Chain A
């Protein structure tokens, strides 16, 4: 096992897949000459050439729309939306086209398409550039939504996303690119749609994903010092949502806290909490707690922004609430 960064993991997955299948190509803003604004595709343009690493105009609707068309025509595009905030400019194509075409035409249309994008706050980019609207995208049947929290998962899940014959929205987190983790050598995949216990524990179940996995792990470490052992279940995929490990853990701990970076209302926590209540109500020893972003557009000022984002202490407080 090698210890690499999230950026390297994602980059390797893309690179290896492109080496494997010449029909895979990348399109997006600044993916080529610039090397990707988050440097994920650095070196790709020189190696794979302009045909397979395509700089696009600033035009998200046509990036996604053209990727859909090219996928239908038999290629396997990986479209990059510079950040998830710009996905709103492509919403129609994501929601009304990508998520619908296979079903609506009775299974005739096949869309082996990945939309890679970057979400999350905490970098003082202000309200329009800091959002975590993952739950919105997870609302639509027909779209798969993947949001890894570790390099190992990122690499394996991106490979699966590229090999999938369905449209996948692959959400990376802007502040996780430098995060290091062990990654298996060689070619491996991690199937889409499986949650995973990232830390075993007996006292409380923390359900989370993406950046908040890191936050939750830190909280768990501190709680451990007080003798509280949190079990952390990482969703990894928001749709399809795998509740198996969550329910199993909850039946053991009887208490749950759900931690997400996005807003609380109508969020991932709302969905996970209701599923726990539906499937394991009798096991609950306390009302489930949700930790999420304060219900405001994210401000630029650093202190205010940090106040709005879920912190380690918020997770600890919520855990103590359910104990």
Chain B
């Protein structure tokens, strides 16, 4: 990997963190409505994962999607504008936090019904297989999503039809307030892939380089074999499930322990220890991310509200 690439991974993670910290504030000020699910703590997962894809590879995820959107190359300002419901947002202010997508970046959303996008991912891969495209689909979902029927139907089909899809479970140990062990018969989620004879791996999601390496191998496998692969990524969300979560289900000490494993801190130390980058270089990137975030907020706040006509646009693709 070139130095630039190392630094780029760092920058993406810091940018996601800053953007979400700003979003949390805007939420508290009432400028963002609805649900806001922060990705803070999990940044290394999508950053490492998506850095390993080819541009033709598709990405689809659940509602915890701001980080994924940024990793897919959507400018922070368009993410922020969507959070504020502005016309300049990625989904033109119609989707909000949970429903971001940018087809031009091969990012297929942002889906808020738990597990419902897994069958869609199987279908995206089916389309590519059918059209003989050299593309794979990367489908991200939470541990909680592996308990709904959609998950099992999609995995099974992907194996039976040899669909080029990479299933990525972000195991952050909780689905809302329910710990994995309380909801899933197996707490090592990859075992579920075994049940469908899908080759699998498990990786530490707090280490962006490990994620990237595992993702590279997994993506290569899917592309070469034209068949599914399952990657479990162990991670943790530092914030509540969404804003306003009373967090009665976990102890502050547990959160604190994980926060010591901050993926950004780990990576920063690594870059310095391996002399890939200096403190000063990284500080500059931190500043740059802070600046880009401030600009994104400014852009979003000064962007126009959607006009009333927008309400009736896009109900159907066929005009008239």
Interface residues of chain A, those whose CB is within 8 Å of chain B, are: 29-30, 33-35, 37, 55-62, 85-86, 89, 123-129, 294-297, 299-304, 307-308
B175 CB within 8 Å of chain A: yes
Closest chain B residue, CB of each to CB of A125: B34
Further pairs besides A34-B176, A300-B99: 13, Cβ < 8 Å:
A37-B176, A58-B115, A58-B175, A85-B113, A89-B113, A123-B34, A126-B98, A127-B95, A129-B112, A299-B93, A301-B93, A304-B93, A304-B311
Contact A30 B94 (CB under 8 A): no
A296 to B145 Cα, complex, angstroms: 28
Contact B149 A296 (CB under 8 A): no
Which residues of the partner chain B approach A304 to less than 8 Å between Cβ atoms? Answer: 85, 93-94, 306, 308, 310-311
Which residues of the partner chain B approach A30 to less than 8 Å between Cβ atoms? Answer: 176-178
Q: How far is the CB of A36 from chain B (nearest CB, A)?
A: 11
Most buried by A among B96, B310, B315: B96
B148 CB within 8 Å of chain A: yes
Contact A57 B183 (CB under 8 A): yes
Contact A29 B176 (CB under 8 A): yes
Which residues of the partner chain A approach B86 to less than 8 Å between Cβ atoms? Answer: 301
Closest chain A residue, CB of each to CB of B30: A302
A58 to B115 Cα, complex, angstroms: 9
Contact A296 B315 (CB under 8 A): yes
Contact B248 A129 (CB under 8 A): no
Q: Which of B97, B99, B176, B182 contacts A127 (CB 8 A)?
A: B99
With A125-B35, A301-B306 known as contacts, the answer to whether A89 contacts B311 (CB < 8 A) is: no
A308 to B306 Cα, complex, angstroms: 13
Q: How far is the CB of B294 from chain A (nearest CB, A)?
A: 23
Contact B178 A59 (CB under 8 A): no
Closest chain B residue, CB of each to CB of A128: B112
With A34-B177, A57-B183, A89-B148 known as contacts, the answer to whether A300 contacts B93 (CB < 8 A) is: yes
Contact A300 B34 (CB under 8 A): yes
Q: How far is the CB of B205 from chain A (nearest CB, A)?
A: 20
Contact A308 B112 (CB under 8 A): no
B147 CB within 8 Å of chain A: yes
Contact B183 A33 (CB under 8 A): no
Which residues of the partner chain A approach B150 to less than 8 Å between Cβ atoms? Answer: 89
A86 to B115 Cα, complex, angstroms: 11
19 contacts between A and B (CB under 8 A): A58-B115, A58-B144, A58-B183, A59-B149, A61-B149, A85-B113, A86-B113, A126-B34, A126-B95, A126-B96, A126-B112, A127-B95, A128-B111, A295-B315, A297-B315, A299-B311, A301-B306, A304-B85, A304-B93
Tally of A-B Cβ pairs under 8 angstroms = 127
Which residues of the partner chain A approach B114 to less than 8 Å between Cβ atoms? Answer: 58, 86
Most buried by B among A34, A57, A86, A294: A57
Contact B148 A60 (CB under 8 A): yes
What DSSP secondary structure best describes chain B's contact surface?
loop
Which residues of the partner chain B approach A300 to less than 8 Å between Cβ atoms? Answer: 33-34, 85, 91, 93-97, 99
Which residues of the partner chain A approach B248 to less than 8 Å between Cβ atoms? Answer: 33-35
Closest chain A residue, CB of each to CB of B148: A59
Which residues of the partner chain B approach A86 to less than 8 Å between Cβ atoms? Answer: 113-114
Which residues of the partner chain A approach B178 to less than 8 Å between Cβ atoms? Answer: 29-30, 33-34, 55, 57
Which residues of the partner chain A approach B115 to less than 8 Å between Cβ atoms? Answer: 58
A60 to B178 Cα, complex, angstroms: 15
The 6 closest A-B pairs by CB, nearest first: A300-B96, A124-B33, A57-B147, A301-B85, A124-B34, A34-B177
Which residues of the partner chain B approach A37 to less than 8 Å between Cβ atoms? Answer: 176
Closest chain B residue, CB of each to CB of A303: B305
B161 CB within 8 Å of chain A: no
The 8 A CB mask of B1-45 against A (1 = contact, 0 = none) is 000000000000000000000000000000001110000000000
Closest chain B residue, CB of each to CB of A35: B248
Q: How far is the CB of A93 from chain B (nearest CB, A)?
A: 11
B130 CB within 8 Å of chain A: no
Contact A303 B149 (CB under 8 A): no
The 8 A CB mask of B290-305 against A (1 = contact, 0 = none) is 0000000000000001
B184 CB within 8 Å of chain A: yes
Contact B99 A126 (CB under 8 A): yes
Contact A33 B249 (CB under 8 A): yes
Contact B35 A129 (CB under 8 A): yes
Interface residues of B in 165-204 (CB under 8 A from A): 175-178, 182-184
A37 to B182 Cα, complex, angstroms: 17
A56 to B114 Cα, complex, angstroms: 14
Q: How far is the CB of A83 from chain B (nearest CB, A)?
A: 10
Closest chain A residue, CB of each to CB of B34: A124
A124 to B312 Cα, complex, angstroms: 17
Contact B184 A57 (CB under 8 A): yes
Most buried by B among A58, A59, A85: A58
Which residues of the partner chain B approach A29 to less than 8 Å between Cβ atoms? Answer: 176, 178
The 8 A CB mask of B112-123 against A (1 = contact, 0 = none) is 111110000000
Q: How far is the CB of A233 from chain B (nearest CB, A)?
A: 30
Which residues of the partner chain A approach B93 to less than 8 Å between Cβ atoms? Answer: 299-301, 304
A304 to B313 Cα, complex, angstroms: 11
Contact A302 B311 (CB under 8 A): no
